[in-house]
Amino acid sequence: MKLWLASANPQRVQTCLAYGVFTGVITNPHVVAQEGRDPKQIFADLCQLAPAAYYQLQAGTVEAMQREAETMLAIDPERMRIKVPATRNGLAVIRRLSDQGLPVMATAVPTNTWMVLAVAAGAVAVAPYSGMLQRRHILPKMEGVFAMQAIIDRQNYPVELCTGIYDATEIAQYAARGVKSAFLWDKDVETFLTQELADEAAANFNSDWAQMNAY
């Protein structure tokens, strides 16, 4: 299971990538706006640190979204990745970019039907927004993600879901259902990567290490 770091802060990215568990960086407009800098400068920095960095396009006309994608991809054609909101215009942009051989993530995908449409447009990754259904008391978030993964498995779609992790225990639950990737918010990383049982098991050898180091 691939894990992505949700952050646009270069200092946090550098710190968190050093833990060795992250495939790259994924962002949304909120975390980028929080940095208070030109997005092009931010992603130039992120591409120096991360093997891959996802940028989310602003929803708009097909032409405007295409131009924005080209601008951001030019920062680092090898490491930049594009997220496209799966609006009606966004689906057209996904098709245009995928026809250029670019790996595109569809985002703002709330339902199973919309995931099927995003895949039909050429997306190779999908960010589920099933939390929107949960807030409307329609379906729990995790059940929405599981239902999407079941369709992917049944249809043999060459696509990965990338869902948000809000509790460390969710990682194993999603992995057990076949979800191939997920992201962790940078504020949660140290908490999620701290396991008391692992620390306890390692500490059991402290007296042995003390004895070994005495020689």
Catalytic residue among 83, 141, 180, 187: 83
Instruction: Respond yes or no: is residue 83 known to be catalytic.
Output: yes
- Mapping DSSP onto H, E and C, the string for the chain reads CEEEEECCCHHHHHHHHCCCCCCEEECCHHHHHHCCCCHHHHHHHHHHHCCCEEEECCCCCHHHHHHHHHHHHCCCCCCEEEEEECCHHHHHHHHHHHHCCCCEEEEEECCHHHHHHHHHCCCCEEEECCHHHHHCCCCCHHHHHHHHHHHHHHHCCCCEEEEEECCCHHHHHHHHCCCCEEEEEHHHHHHHCCCHHHHHHHHCCHHHHHHHHCC
Residue 66 backbone zone (phi > 0: left; psi -120 to 50: alpha; other: beta)? alpha
Query: Would you name the residues annotated as active-site residues?
Result: 83
